[in-house]
Amino acid sequence: AQSVTQLGSHVSVSEGALVLLRCNYSSSVPPYLFWYVQYPNQGLQLLLKYTSAATLVKGINGFEAEFKKSETSFHLTKPSAHMSDAAEYFCAAKSSSSNTGKLIFGQGTTLQVKP
Amino acid sequence: DAGVIQSPRHEVTEMGQEVTLRCKPISGHNSLFWYRQTMMRGLELLIYFNNNVPIDDSGMPEDRFSAKMPNASFSTLKIQPSEPRDSAVYFCASGINSPLHFGNGTRLTVT
């Protein structure tokens, strides 16, 4: 069965430092992959998505993620953290053969940004 | 585009009462999903519909939970009777294939 694993439930960085949030998937066929962000008291917002085109995907707010098939990974990065990036981040996968939008979510990673 | 609209935003009820959560998906989206989010279990998929038909309800925790989608623009999630352990944030999401668009959720507190 397809699954998504996010390493580290909490990540803390200083403002201006590199952000790296890890995500690995398990699937026999490379799925479509997504990163969502959730700010307090809000729903999930799409940051970026990989759908078998370019392996380096750029998203909103300066985030990007790279699909690495050999490592079954889709880590999220941002060169310089901003205080407003503090939120919870979810990695999600969808079977590329599925005709519905059903997503499998990771457990989430809370990003703390220290001044 | 108003996005996915959920109501109410907050619901506080007493144990044993019936609770109905409502969702209006984005127009044109053919899939609708109900998720529950808690600190302990994270995001759980409860049920999803494709073209108004329930496809997978294996995530519905108990018979106390039921969901309907009478038309393409409206869905409800009902809990009857409610229990304190049902306290959570319930999200509705819609999409056409992918990605999903989420509403802002209903925060349910059962006392």
Q: Is the confidence at residue B42, as pLDDT, over 80?
A: yes
**Quick one: which H or E segment has residue B42?**
strand B42-50
Q: Are B46 and B35 in contact (CB under 8 A)?
A: yes
- Contact A43/B103, CB-based, under 8 Å? yes
pLDDT of residue B20: 98
Which of A32, A43, A108 is the closest to B105 by Cβ? A43
Nearest-CA distance from B107 to chain A in Å? 9
Range from A51-60, B76-85, B101-110 carrying the lowest mean pLDDT: A51-60
Helix (H, G, I), strand (E, B) or coil at B60: coil
CB neighbours of residue B82 within 10 Å: 23
Residue B104 scores a pLDDT above 80? yes
- Rg, C-alpha atoms of chain B: 13
For testing contact with chain A, the best of B7, B38, B94, B98 (most A CBs within 10 A): B98
pLDDT band at A56 (very low <50, low <70, confident <90, very high): very high
Give which of A70, A59, A69, A52 is closest to A19, Cα–Cα: A59
pLDDT of residue B54 exceeding 90, the answer is: yes
Q: Nearest by CB to A101, which of B31, B56, B107?
A: B31
Chain B residues with beta carbon closer than 8 angstroms to that of A74: none
Of A43, A50, A89, A81, nearest to A58 by C-alpha is A50
Which pLDDT does position A99 carry in this prediction?
Answer: 66
Does B64 have pLDDT greater than 80?
Answer: yes
Separation CA A87–CA A2 (nearest Å): 26
* B43 at A interface, C-beta within 8 A: yes
> What percent of chain A stands above pLDDT 70?
97
How many Å apart are CA A52 and CA B90, to the nearest integer?
A: 31
Contacts of A32 in chain B (CB under 8 A): 98
Residue B1 has pLDDT above 70, yes or no: no
Please indicate whether residue A54 or residue A58 has the higher confidence score (pLDDT). Answer: A58
Residue A10 reports pLDDT greater than 90: yes
Residue A66 confidence (pLDDT) above 70 = yes
Q: What is the identity of the amino acid at A43? A: G
The two three-digit tokens of residue A53, written as one number: 């085109």
Tell me the pLDDT tens digit for each residue of A81-98: 999 999 999 999 987 776
Show residues of chain A in contact with B96, CB under 8 Å: 101
Share of chain B above pLDDT 90, in %: 83
Q: Are strands B53-56 and B31-38 parallel, antiparallel or unpaired?
A: unpaired
**Cα angle value A10/A16/A19 (rounded, 5°):** 35
The pLDDT, as a whole number, for residue A12 is: 97
Whether pLDDT at B58 is above 80? yes
- With vertex at residue A73, the alpha carbon angle to CA A72 and CA A76, rounded to the nearest 5 degrees, is 165
- CA B13 → CA B7, B64, B81, B88, B91, distances in Å? 15, 15, 11, 12, 18
The residue ranges of DSSP E strands in chain A, in sequence order, are: 3-7, 10-14, 19-26, 32-38, 44-50, 56-58, 64-68, 73-78, 87-94, 104-105, 109-114
Q: Which residue of B has its CA nearest to A42?
A: B104
Task: Average the pLDDT over A69-88 and give the result.
Answer: 96
Shortest CB distance from B104 goes to which of A36, A43, A94?
A43
Confidence of residue B62 (pLDDT cuts 50, 70, 90): confident
Answer yes or no: do B55 and A100 touch at CB < 8 A: yes
